[in-house]
């Protein structure tokens, strides 16, 4: 344990951004120290799980004291590579896409939507904030030029696979897929699916079949 080069469990890795954001909140509100119990209350993750998660990175806390917010924050900033800006492309500027364009990922995450694509002529050439909207035809060219490695896919599902193939061709390594389609990609490409209908449906299923809620 505590070997920084070792791979962290996936479940832990998924919680890191969450921890990071709440530590930022604490920092902003002037808090100097925090215990795993307090953090647990805030992020709704068992305190033992939090301590275990942190322990993969070594001994970050102090017994009887807790964690120094600043130290932890600095540590995670480095670990999460928050200093290096990650450029993201948004594919499909519909309602969902627009929601992303207006979302300030930069603030906490140092992740920036650098370019967007659509097919609607009236959108092309315009910009949302400082994010220019290109025509889908220019996908490969722009993505390669801007050296973009991550894409958010918010297009109608019937186009999802075709566009995915083009993204893979343009050397994109990660896709956040909001389409109901399940994408086929080479194994070197990572896809995270967020399926809104499935999320809603499974919530409904849990409500009907698991009356006493155990928090997800």
Partner DNA sequence: ATCAACTTGTGAAGAAAATAACAAAGTTGA
Partner DNA sequence: TCAACTTTGTTATTTTCTTCACAAGTTGAT
Can you tell me which of 2, 14, 78, 137 binds a copy of itself, judged by CB under 8 A? 14
Q: Any idea what the Cα angle at residue 162 is, between residues 115 and 198, rounded to 5°?
A: 85
- 2 interface partner picked from DNA, a copy of itself, none, CB below 5 to 8 A per type: DNA
Q: Given the structure tokens 């969450």, which residue do they identify? A: 18
Please count the other Cβ atoms lying within 10 Å of the Cβ belonging to residue 76: 20
Site for a copy of itself in 152-211 (CB under 8 A): 152, 173-174, 176, 180, 182-184, 187-211
Query: What contacts 88, CB < 8 A, 6 or more positions away?
Result: 105, 111, 112, 113, 114, 148, 150, 151, 152
**In the complex, least distance from residue 179 CB atom to DNA, rounded to whole angstroms:** 21
> Does residue 147 bind a copy of itself (CB under 8 A)?
no
Q: Are 180 and 156 in contact (CB under 8 A)?
A: no
Q: Which residues bind DNA (CB under 7 A)?
A: 1-2, 9-12, 35-37, 45-49, 51-52, 54-55, 59-67
> Does residue 21 bind a copy of itself (CB under 8 A)?
yes
User: What's the chain's Rg over C-alpha atoms?
Assistant: 20
**Token pair of 70, please?**
């600043």
CA 100/CA 91 separation, integer angstroms: 11
**In the complex, least distance from residue 127 CB atom to a copy of itself, rounded to whole angstroms:** 16
Residues that bind a copy of itself (CB under 8 A): 7-8, 10, 13-14, 16-18, 20-22, 42-44, 80-81, 86, 88, 94-96, 98-100, 102-103, 105, 108-109, 111, 149-150, 152, 173-174, 176, 180, 182-184, 187-213, 215-216
């Amino acid at each position: 344990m505590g070997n920084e080069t070792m791979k962290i469990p996936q479940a832990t890795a998924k919680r890191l951004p969450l921890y990071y954001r709440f530590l930022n909140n604490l920092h902003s509100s002037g808090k100097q120290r925090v215990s795993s119990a307090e953090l647990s209350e805030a992020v709704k993750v068992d305190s033992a799980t939090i301590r275990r998660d942190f322990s993969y990175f070594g001994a970050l806390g102090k017994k009887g004291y807790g964690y120094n917010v600043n130290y932890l924050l600095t540590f995670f900033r480095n670990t999460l590579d928050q200093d290096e800006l990650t450029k993201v492309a948004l594919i499909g500027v519909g309602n969902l896409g627009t929601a992303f364009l207006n979302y300030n990922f930069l603030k906490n995450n140092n992740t920036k939507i650098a370019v967007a694509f659509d097919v609607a002529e009236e959108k092309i050439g315009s910009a949302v904030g400082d994010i220019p909207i290109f025509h889908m035809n220019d996908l490969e060219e722009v993505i390669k030029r801007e050296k973009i490695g991550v894409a958010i896919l918010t297009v109608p599902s019937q186009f999802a696979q075709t566009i995915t193939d083009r993204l893979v061709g343009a050397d994109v390594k990660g896709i956040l897929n909001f389409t109901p389609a399940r994408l086929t990609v080479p194994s070197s490409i990572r896809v995270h699916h967020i399926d809104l209908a499935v999320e809603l449906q499974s919530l409904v299923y849990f409500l009907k079949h698991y009356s006493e809620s155990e928090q997800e």
